[in-house]
Amino acid sequence: MTATTKTFSHSEPCCTLDLTGPEQRRLVTMFNGLGNPSRFEIMKYLVTHNGCITGEIVDILPQAQATVSQHLKVLEKTGWIIRSTKGAATSVCLHEANINWFKEKVGEVF
């Protein structure tokens, strides 16, 4: 008895999800943004301390300020947070619209 393997051409859909192109890339990018334990800790903190100052995040992580800044840069680039500067302080807020979009898409997939 031999096993048969079905191969898919690029023209055949692999599934019934209507998630392709830019939306799929956006979703994958957001997943990648959370793919680091330190960035995930930052997001957990922001859920209960939204609108905090960068220094507060530095205080909760056992990492140098420069490292935390790099993690914040990734979270901003991948759509999770919004940073704004007022004088010497940088405020960090969750990007609510992007997070709601992410929740909706994840709900459609899973």
pLDDT in tens, 4-24: 555 555 556 556 667 789 999
Q: Domains plus CATH for the chain?
A: 34-109 (1.10.10.10)
pLDDT of residue 109: 84
Q: Give dist(CA 102, CA 96) in Å, integer.
A: 10
pTM above 0.85, yes or no: no
pLDDT in tens, 79-93: 999 999 988 889 999
pLDDT of residue 9: 53
pLDDT of residue 86: 87
